[in-house]
Structure 1
Amino acid sequence: MEASKFFSRMEEFEPDEGYQKTYRSFDEVLPSLPPSKGWWLDQLFHYQGFWLSTFALRGSMLLNDHFKPRPTDIIVATSPKCGTTWLRALVFSIVNRHSFDFSDHPLSKMNPQELVFFLEGAIYIDGSTSFIDGLPSPRLLSTHLPYSLVPKSMTDDTSDCRFVYICRDPKDVFISKWHFANKLRAKDLPPIALEEAFDSFCKGASHYGPFWDHVLGYWKASLESPKKVLFLKYEDVKKQPSDCVRKVAEFLEVPFSPEEESKEIVEEIVKLCSFENMSNQEVNKNATRNSGRPISNSDFFRKGEVGDWVNHLSPQMAEALDQITEQKLQGTGFNFR
């Protein structure tokens, strides 16, 4: 089933006792969680150290209670607005490079989110894990969940599924997230002010935040389990995209052969998945939304640049974010440079 059709409808799902138990747990826990104002339609709730919407929270609980991972599962993991769409496209192209011709590729007809399914979103809308369970292996999936909220059945030593994670300079993340939020806000709501969003972001109260804790969770996991978690930086991928493509292929144990290198398949993938190419596909110029999926394909493409924050943040704001970043990363061995 195409994702566009899937997300445009709500399944008629009659939950069994197991699912009913999860729904009851969700109903019981929600009123006890500290709330914060959401950036667009909903509130955020503080759950196990992170701020989640009701959408993400219920999806997370269903995922933890009912999702059955497979050893061949590949998970594209990101904090929002860190290059999710780009990484989905790259991973899909790398894994499926023998199945499609570049002159007639699925990415020229479909948005990457229709090819790499959003785990907690699909489970939330479906009401169960049945849709994800029915996908053929290897399943290419995506999540915004912090590593600590991913089911232990996916992250412990007995699981062979793999995570490809990408992070980005927090100043660019904030600006991208602010623009995205204002695209999604209801027409009758005023835009969220830069200063208001900035204050929330600095306090960690943004979707799937605090941002720094999200990044460090996957960073530490990549150090402890380098065969399970590949950690990438957006800026490095922009600078050396071909090297990144090779690194992802090696990590997923589908390295490029000498023949593929001679045919410049790596360069073909980089070109296919570039911001310029994807944003100019007709499918990604589509600004139509529907009730099941209130985000249009065009909403996922703005600039894709490194350092665009300088056009929006005051020097004082940039310095404040840099100070938070320095404090959060102190002693971790990680930096965004």
Structure 2
Amino acid sequence: MATPQPPPALPQYLQEYEFSQENRDFISSLPTEKGWIANHLHQYQGFWHATRHMQGVLASQKHFQALDTDILLVSTPKSGTTWLKAVLFALVKRVHYPDPQQHPLLTNNPHVLVPFLELDVYIEKQVPDLTCLAPPRLFSTHLPYVSLPDSVKNSACKVVYLCRDPKDTFVSLWHFANKLRAKSRGTISLEEAFDKFCKGVSLGGPFWDHVLGYWKESLERPEKVMFFKFEEMKEEPTLHLRRLAEFLGCPFSPEEETQGVADDILRLCSFDNLSNLDVNQSGKLSSGEENSTFFRKGEVGDWMNYLTDEMVERLDCINEEKLQGSGLKF
């Protein structure tokens, strides 16, 4: 008789670390809903986070000390984050990697080069040593504005915000969730996920509150926060790359313009190029996610292949209600 095999260990991104009793008690006191990927989502400061991420959220709020030279990429989940991480790294570090054949993006997933504060940096070590990172330090986060560490809000560090049409955001998030869910849980249906998304119960949600927090801040402090839409960047990438370079204080020189450096960056960071690299086809992050999970289509308007007329009408009504008077439109 064959010896029964133990069930396979969960990948790290689905595991829940041993919390301190204080954190365990605190998290258990929060409103809780069934998660899309992990078992639960917890509502903290008005937004939803997976149980494992809560450790990183609380630790980054408590311990992260932003420097004036830091650059923080903030995004709603599944809004083109992987692409903009690559663009941001290639842009800011271009002086260090002049040889395109030796660029770190060819052998590293963008999430390794621009780590998430609450999902990578502070998820295991509550007080990591960040002193070895050369300025400008690049980090990313899905945290809403209200939950950013105080040092980010109060320093001169730059915040780059990226969002995407909620219809495409939802469809991408639904696909992503089903790729990462434990097989024992089965899939989450389009209808169930859509209802959760509309009610704001999604990773980093409510989507509209997340977007509006940074939109308003970008209007009040344009020198601090730059607001991008995925669709606009896809339509005019060179224009917005130049805008980003100016905002970050590293504009392209006349010589770089003549040499076509901006075009080189966009070519290196294109969806076709990144998605076909060996590291992104067969590699894994240290937390267990396959790199290929972060590359699906990267298109505008894919929602038309999935959403019913009723779903579109419901999202359009929410958009109109939530964004009314803000000046922001999708």
Give the TM-score of the pair, scaled to structure 1. Answer: 0.90
Change in Cα spacing, 1:229 to 1:307, as seen in structure 2 (3 Å) is same
**Alpha-carbon distance in structure 2 between the residues aligned to 1:75 and 1:145:** 11
Q: Contact conserved, 1:164 with 1:230, CA < 8 A, in 2?
A: yes
Partner residue, 1:335: 329
Which structure 1 residue ranges, 5 or more long, are not aligned? 1-6, 10-21
* 1:137 corresponds to which of 132, 135, 138: 135
Alpha-carbon offset, residue 169 of structure 1: 0.2
**Alpha-carbon distance in structure 1 between the residues aligned to 2:58 and 2:292:** 30
Alpha-carbon offset, residue 99 of structure 1: 1.2
Measured against aligned partners, the alpha-carbon deviations of 1:94-118 in whole angstroms (never above 9, x if no partner) come to 1011111112211111110111111
Alpha-carbon offset, residue 135 of structure 1: 2.3
For 2:169, give the aligned amino acid: V
Q: What is the aligned-residue identity percentage?
A: 51
Alpha-carbon offset, residue 24 of structure 1: 4.7
Alpha-carbon offset, residue 123 of structure 1: 3.5
For 1:35, give the aligned amino acid: T
Alpha-carbon offset, residue 287 of structure 1: 5.7
Equivalences for 1:25-64 in 2 at 5 Å?
25-64=22-61
Partner residue, 2:313: 319
Alpha-carbon offset, residue 133 of structure 1: 4.4
Measured against aligned partners, the alpha-carbon deviations of 1:221-244 in whole angstroms (never above 9, x if no partner) come to 111111111100000000000011
* 1:239 corresponds to which of 235, 241, 249: 235
Partner residue, 1:295: 289
**Alpha-carbon distance in structure 2 between the residues aligned to 1:280 and 1:254:** 29
Aligned partner of residue 133 in structure 2, secondary structure: coil
Tell me whether 1:264 sits opposite 2:260 in the alignment: yes
Partner residue, 2:251: 255
Tell me whether 1:228 sits opposite 2:255 in the alignment: no
**Alpha-carbon distance in structure 2 between the residues aligned to 1:73 and 1:229:** 13
Partner residue, 2:207: 211
Measured against aligned partners, the alpha-carbon deviations of 1:71-93 in whole angstroms (never above 9, x if no partner) come to 11101110100011011001101
Alpha-carbon offset, residue 129 of structure 1: 2.8
Tell me whether 1:202 sits opposite 2:203 in the alignment: no
**Alpha-carbon distance in structure 1 between the residues aligned to 2:221 and 2:303:** 33
Alpha-carbon offset, residue 136 of structure 1: 2.5
Aligned partner of residue 139 in structure 2, secondary structure: strand
Q: Contact conserved, 1:68 with 1:133, CA < 8 A, in 2?
A: no
Aligned partner of residue 117 in structure 1, secondary structure: coil
Q: Contact conserved, 1:200 with 1:206, CA < 8 A, in 2?
A: yes
**Alpha-carbon distance in structure 1 between the residues aligned to 2:319 and 2:204:** 17
Q: Contact conserved, 1:122 with 1:131, CA < 8 A, in 2?
A: no
Measured against aligned partners, the alpha-carbon deviations of 1:114-155 in whole angstroms (never above 9, x if no partner) come to 111111122343322324344222211010100110012211
Alpha-carbon offset, residue 32 of structure 1: 1.3
* 1:151 corresponds to which of 129, 149, 152: 149
Partner residue, 1:127: 125
**Alpha-carbon distance in structure 1 between the residues aligned to 2:115 and 2:127:** 12
Measured against aligned partners, the alpha-carbon deviations of 1:148-171 in whole angstroms (never above 9, x if no partner) come to 100122113xx1111111110000
Aligned partner of residue 135 in structure 1, secondary structure: coil
Aligned partner of residue 296 in structure 2, secondary structure: coil
**Alpha-carbon distance in structure 2 between the residues aligned to 1:276 and 1:148:** 35
Tell me whether 1:171 sits opposite 2:167 in the alignment: yes
**Alpha-carbon distance in structure 2 between the residues aligned to 1:214 and 1:55:** 20
Measured against aligned partners, the alpha-carbon deviations of 1:18-48 in whole angstroms (never above 9, x if no partner) come to xxxx945422321211110100122001111
Give the TM-score of the pair, scaled to structure 2. Answer: 0.91
Change in Cα spacing, 1:204 to 1:138, as seen in structure 2 (3 Å) is same
Partner residue, 2:79: 82
Measured against aligned partners, the alpha-carbon deviations of 1:300-325 in whole angstroms (never above 9, x if no partner) come to 00000000000000111011111101
**Alpha-carbon distance in structure 1 between the residues aligned to 2:284 and 2:127:** 27
Q: Which runs of 4+ in 1 moved over 3 A?
A: 22-25, 131-134
For 2:133, give the aligned amino acid: L
Partner residue, 1:12: none
> What RMSD in Å do the two structures reach over aligned CA positions?
1.9
Which structure 2 residue ranges, 5 or more long, are not aligned? 1-10, 14-18
**Alpha-carbon distance in structure 1 between the residues aligned to 2:246 and 2:207:** 28
Equivalences for 1:269-288 in 2 at 5 Å?
269-286=265-282, 288=284
Alpha-carbon offset, residue 294 of structure 1: 2.8
* 1:68 corresponds to which of 57, 62, 65: 65
Partner residue, 2:114: 116
Q: How many residues align?
A: 315
**Alpha-carbon distance in structure 2 between the residues aligned to 1:324 and 1:283:** 39
Aligned partner of residue 185 in structure 2, secondary structure: coil
